Amino acid sequence: MTIKQGDTLPEATFTVPGPDGLESADTASFFKGRKIALFSVPGAFTPTCSAKHLPSYVDKAEELKTKGVDAIACTAVNDAFVMGAWSKANGADGKVTMLADGNGSFAKAVGLEMDGSKFGLGTRGQRFSMIVNDGVVEELNVEAPGEYKVSSAEHMLGQL
C-alpha cells in the first residue's frame, strides 16, 4: 500500500553519514517534533538527481527554512558512504541530511519502490518529495516515470 497524506511514516531505519562515522536514524526519532522536507531520488550520482534534484534543495535550503521547515533530508537506495560522498560533491553538507536506505526498506514500507533493472539499478525508491510534520505526511508529491517536476524544492516552496 502506498503512503498518502495524513498517514504516519512507517517504522524504518536509515544509515546516516556523520562526522564521526556512520550513525543510525529511525523514522520515529528523526521526524519527531519537526517539520521536514523529505525527498527521494532513484540514486546518488545519477544524471537528473545530481544535475537538478539535489541542487534544487541545496539552493533553496534557506527559503524552505524561512517557510517553516526545520530540516531537509534526502533518501535513496544507496549505502551511506555513497550518500556521504554525493553530499560532499554537491555542497549539501550542513544543508541536507542524507538518509541512506541501503536495503530499500523505507522505499518498500512507504510503497514507493521502482524497478530500475533495465538500467542496471535493481529495486530503487521512486522520485518523490514529502512534507512530514512530526512524523505525519502533510504533502506527498510522486513523480511520473521519467519526470522531474513535482518533487523539486521549487514545487515544495509553493506548498508551504
Active site residues: 49
What gap in Å lies between CA 61 and CA 92, rounded to an integer? 10
As a three-state string, the secondary structure of 32-86 is CCCEEEEEECCCCCCHHHHHHHHHHHHHCHHHHHHCCCCEEEEEECCCHHHHHHH
First to last CA, the chain: 26
Q: Are 138 and 131 in contact (CB under 8 A)?
A: yes
Q: Are 22 and 107 in contact (CB under 8 A)?
A: no
Q: Which three cell numbers stand for residue 134?
A: 512530526
